[in-house]
């Protein structure tokens, strides 16, 4: 005989939730004691631990000041209670490889939540609102910017992370920070600045994002930068040349040893691709540079477009486009979760180190990966290489290269705050020509920092101030 279902009262349900929370906290505290014991520095080791100090930059690389980190010695119940549900292969705050400068642990947040919050409150993050994704910011109020792109990446990444039981806060921090080093005018600005810096170590926007959070942000009395955790910084550094990796210490090892980053960094990486492929289709259609007729040959688009039109025959225009894109994003996310879950079940990683030693775990299925690649190729051919986009890119390149040449020819044109950061002001005082006696490599890098931090409209205004004669 089948037993009747017993529905608990509100008081019983509340008691059950309280008991579950209590068990989670006890489990977290037990794990915390174990980790704390593991990370405790023995007395005879204390004197050998190197102290992190800031050193002046005297080369022309984009190398952060130091890659030494302080491990966390204080374990808070809060971090374990908030992360007790995570899988063994997820990144845990208490097991982080630490920060570059020693700090007291947060009271009501995990270490990765602290990272996320610092990024959101940074100056570089606010500037993303006025930096180009594909279309220059002033061309339309509804086109994506670097800021809206970063928010969409974070939303997608958190959805995936939650389903895989990995650290949502770390995923979000990486997602929000991954474009902080991008130049004005998108990839056109980056290409122009990289060409200007060809004789001075080049320019990589991923590495510039790291420099922003390590050095250029000025918010805290105890250190330059945001002093983020190793795992967040690792995730920000999506790409890196071998030359630069050699100068990055532990942070560059994975590029030299061909290892993977944390699973959270892998999720943010794929979420980035999902976001820009789909919102670039949306913005491309809105701009009129691509058409529905052209997209009819792209399987991933057409499958969902026909399904949406079949289910909702009365909708059309922008509403039908939004419904189609919503379905594509959902398909890509669900497939990513399912495919990654299969990879995890097959390889069974039991730690973050296992994830690093394994092949890429966060992947789409072969079928969906092929469809996503087809969409990406379509965008490259029909949108990114469209003559109107190329014209905008050419203008952007002229602005960036023009600014760089002007500042490099006469660094006294730089704002005083940037002159004070290097030898420019000191040496220019001895020689009115400035640039001939200043350290060319350091000077060029300071100029690159200044230009990379500009928004689209600020770069245009600065260009106008330098080159446009105002009759008024």
Residue in the block written with tokens 């105890």: 222
Residue in the block written with tokens 């952007």: 396
End-to-end, the C-alpha distance of the chain in Å comes to: 94
From residue 364, alpha-carbon distances to 150, 266, 338 in Å are: 21, 12, 8
* Token reading at 15: 């008691």
Residues paired with 229 in a beta bridge = 99
Listed in sequence order, the residues at least 6 apart from 59 whose beta carbon sits closer than 8 Å to its beta carbon are 201, 441
Per-residue pLDDT of the chain (472 residues; tens, 9 = 90+): 444 444 445 555 455 444 544 544 454 445 544 444 444 433 333 333 333 334 434 444 444 444 566 665 445 666 667 888 999 999 999 899 999 999 998 888 999 999 999 999 999 999 999 998 776 555 555 688 999 999 999 999 999 999 999 999 999 999 999 999 999 998 899 999 999 999 999 999 999 999 999 999 999 999 999 999 999 999 999 988 888 899 899 999 999 999 999 999 999 999 999 999 999 999 999 999 999 999 999 999 999 999 999 999 999 999 999 999 999 999 999 999 999 999 999 999 999 999 999 999 999 999 999 999 999 999 999 999 999 989 989 999 999 999 999 999 999 999 988 887 765 544 444 433 333 323 345 899 999 999 999 999 999 999 999 998 875 5
Beta strands in 91-144 (DSSP E): none
* Contact status, residue 443 vs residue 425, Cβ threshold 8 Å: no
CA 397 to chain centre: 24
Which of 208, 197, 258 lies closest to 233 in space, CA to CA?
208
Which of 451, 447, 428, 459 lies closest to 60 in space, CA to CA?
447
pTM over 0.75: yes
* Contact status, residue 277 vs residue 375, Cβ threshold 8 Å: yes
Concatenating the DSSP letter of every residue in 33-83 gives HHHHHHHPPPHHHHTTSPPP------SSS---S----BPP----HHHHHHH
CA 1 to chain centre: 57
φ, ψ for residue 361 (rounded to 5)? -95, -30
* Contact status, residue 345 vs residue 82, Cβ threshold 8 Å: no
What interhelical angle do 168-177 and 146-164 show, nearest 10? Answer: 160
Q: How far is 262 from 351, CA to CA, in rounded Å?
A: 10
């Amino acid at each position: 005989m089948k037993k009747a279902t017993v529905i608990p009262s509100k008081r019983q349900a509340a008691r059950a939730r309280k008991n579950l929370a209590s068990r989670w906290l006890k489990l977290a505290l037990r794990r915390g004691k174990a980790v704390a014991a593991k990370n405790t520095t023995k007395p005879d080791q204390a004197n050998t631990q190197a102290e992190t100090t800031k050193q002046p930059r005297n080369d022309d690389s984009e190398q952060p000041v130091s890659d030494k980190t302080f491990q966390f010695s204080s374990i808070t119940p809060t971090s374990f209670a908030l992360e007790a549900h995570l899988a063994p292969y997820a990144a845990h705050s208490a097991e982080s490889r630490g920060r570059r400068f020693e700090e007291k642990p947060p009271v009501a947040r995990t270490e990765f939540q602290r990272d996320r919050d610092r990024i959101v409150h940074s100056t570089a993050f606010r500037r993303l609102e006025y930096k180009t994704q594909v279309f220059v910011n002033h061309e339309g109020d509804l086109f994506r910017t670097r800021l809206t792109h970063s928010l969409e990446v974070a939303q997608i990444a958190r959805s995936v992370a939650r389903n895989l039981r990995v650290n949502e806060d770390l995923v979000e921090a990486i997602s929000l920070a991954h474009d902080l080093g991008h130049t004005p005018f998108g990839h056109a600005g980056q290409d122009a600045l990289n060409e200007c810096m060809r004789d001075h170590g080049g320019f990589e926007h991923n590495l510039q994002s790291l420099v922003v959070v390590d050095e250029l942000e000025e918010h805290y009395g105890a250190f330059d930068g945001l002093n983020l955790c190793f795992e967040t910084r690792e995730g920000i550094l999506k790409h890196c040349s071998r030359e630069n990796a050699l100068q990055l210490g532990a942070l560059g090892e994975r590029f030299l040893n061909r290892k993977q980053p944390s699973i959270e960094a892998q999720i943010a990486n794929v979420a980035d691709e999902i976001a820009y492929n789909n919102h670039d289709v949306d913005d491309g259609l809105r701009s009129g540079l691509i058409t529905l007729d052209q997209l009819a040959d792209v399987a991933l688009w057409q499958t969902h477009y026909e399904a949406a039109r079949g289910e909702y025959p009365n909708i059309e225009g922008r509403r039908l486009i939004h419904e189609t894109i919503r379905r594509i994003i959902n398909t890509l996310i669900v497939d990513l979760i399912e495919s990654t879950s299969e990879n995890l079940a097959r390889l069974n990683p039991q730690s973050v180190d296992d994830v690093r030693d394994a092949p890429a775990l966060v992947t789409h299925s072969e079928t969906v990966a092929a469809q996503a690649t087809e969409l990406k190729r379509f965008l490259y051919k029909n949108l990114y290489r469209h003559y109107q986009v190329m014209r905008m890119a050419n203008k952007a390149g002229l602005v960036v290269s023009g600014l760089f040449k002007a500042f490099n020819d006469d660094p006294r044109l730089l704002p005083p705050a940037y002159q004070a950061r290097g030898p420019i002001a000191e040496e220019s005082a001895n020689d009115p020509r400035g640039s001939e006696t200043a350290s060319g490599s350091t000077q060029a890098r300071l100029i690159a920092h200044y230009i990379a931090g500009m928004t689209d409209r600020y770069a245009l205004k600065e260009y106008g101030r330098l080159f446009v004669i105002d009759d008024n």
